[in-house]
């Protein structure tokens, strides 16, 4: 397959400073609503990038579960590679690749672990199967085979039978507190629009970047 021949033209109305809210959270909210209205599959899926203790970049998809002025939150296993990374270096990047809408949003910021109370509130909304999975999986650890995982799942299912499943201490969340946002809108001729917000003390500076 010759990938060099695959070429899409990005015909969109573009993104100008006058289209933007002065507040990047409001701007994100506006785009998020448009992406949702377009029935984009999993609009809250975002690429979370971290740095390993050895300095390697690592990226994976996680689901955004809340966002507001305080930051962007997701949930995970607190012993996973990503959690280890964030405990070593709090700096993280989030990318929303809304490609069919010719859009991308990138956010960078420092992460903070959510409190036990915040994790408990979300834990209670999770389906029972996901709760069992959280007990059964030591996320990111090497396992011998699928059978081993299925046995662990069955074991936890039986252990919790007839009981409310409590949140494991190794399961919780992180909030990324944004320092910078970039809103990217695809345009023809690869001459895209890139508008960037940078936090300057308690305000946001908006700048246009060259495509
Ligand atoms: C669409 C999608 C959504 C995902 N959502 C989450 C999530 O919310 N939390 C999570 O821990 N892993 C999620 N995963 C799995 C992660 O991408 C990753 O495989 C896992 O968290 C282990 O990552 P780590 O070893 O880098 O810590 C998701 C994967 C996909 C493809």
Q: Which atom of ligand 1 lies at the shortest distance from residue 50's CA?
A: 26
Spatial neighbors of 159 by CB under 8 A, at least 6 apart, are 135
Q: Residues 58, 128, 190, 208: which is the catalytic one?
A: 190
| Domain assignment present for 139 | no
19 lines ligand 1 (CB under 6 A): no
How many domains does the chain fold into? 1
Q: Is the CB of 137 under 6 A from ligand 1?
A: no
- Residue 27 resides in a domain: yes
Instruction: Give domain status of residue 150, yes or no.
Output: no
Helix (H, G, I), strand (E, B) or coil at 40: coil
211 residues of the chain, pLDDT tens digit each = 888 777 777 777 888 898 899 999 999 999 999 999 999 999 999 999 999 999 999 999 999 999 999 999 999 999 999 999 999 999 999 999 999 999 999 999 999 999 999 999 999 999 999 999 999 999 999 999 999 999 999 999 999 999 999 999 999 999 999 999 999 999 988 889 999 999 998 899 999 999 9
Q: What is the average pLDDT value for the chain, to the nearest integer?
A: 95
Whether 39 is in a domain gets the answer yes
Residue nearest to atom 5 of ligand 1 (CA): 62
Question: Cα(24) to centroid of ligand 1, in Å?
Answer: 26
Q: Which two tokens stand for residue 103?
A: 């859009």
Report if residue 79 sits inside a domain: yes
d(CA 59, CA 51) in angstroms, rounded, equals 9
Short-list 57, 59, 28, CA closest to 44:
28
Residue 154, pLDDT score: 97
Per the structure, the complete domain to which residue 44 belongs is given by 8-127+170-209
pLDDT at 33: 96
In a domain, 2, yes or no: no
Residue 47: give its domain's CATH number: 2.30.110.10
Residue nearest to atom 7 of ligand 1 (CA): 62
**Looking at residue 210, what is its pLDDT?**
95
Does 159 reside within a domain?
A: no
Question: According to the model, what pLDDT value does residue 13 have?
Answer: 80
Write the CB contacts of 7 (distance below 8 Å, at least 6 apart in sequence).
Answer: none
| Distance, CA of 3 to CA of 157 (rounded, Å) | 46
pLDDT at 14: 87
Whether 92 is covered by a domain: the verdict is: yes
């Amino acid at each position: 397959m010759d990938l060099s021949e695959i070429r899409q033209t990005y015909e969109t109305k573009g993104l100008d400073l006058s289209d933007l809210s002065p507040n990047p959270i409001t701007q994100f909210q506006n785009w998020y609503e448009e992406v949702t209205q377009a029935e984009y599959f999993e609009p809250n899926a975002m690429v979370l990038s971290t740095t390993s203790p050895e300095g390697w970049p690592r990226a994976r998809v996680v689901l955004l579960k809340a966002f507001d002025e305080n930051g962007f939150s997701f949930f995970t296993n607190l012993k996973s590679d990503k959690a280890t990374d964030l405990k070593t270096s709090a700096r993280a990047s989030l990318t929303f690749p809304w490609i069919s809408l010719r859009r991308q949003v990138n956010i960078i910021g420092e992460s903070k672990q959510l409190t036990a109370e915040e994790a408990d509130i979300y834990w209670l909304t999770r389906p029972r199967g996901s709760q069992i999975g959280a007990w059964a999986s030591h996320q990111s650890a090497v396992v011998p085979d699928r059978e081993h995982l299925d046995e662990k799942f069955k074991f936890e299912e039986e252990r919790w039978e007839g009981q409310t499943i409590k949140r494991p201490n190794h399961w919780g969340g992180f909030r990324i507190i944004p320092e910078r946002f970039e809103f990217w809108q695809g345009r023809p001729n690869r001459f895209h629009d890139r508008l960037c917000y940078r936090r300057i003390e308690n305000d946001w500076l908006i700048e246009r970047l060259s495509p």
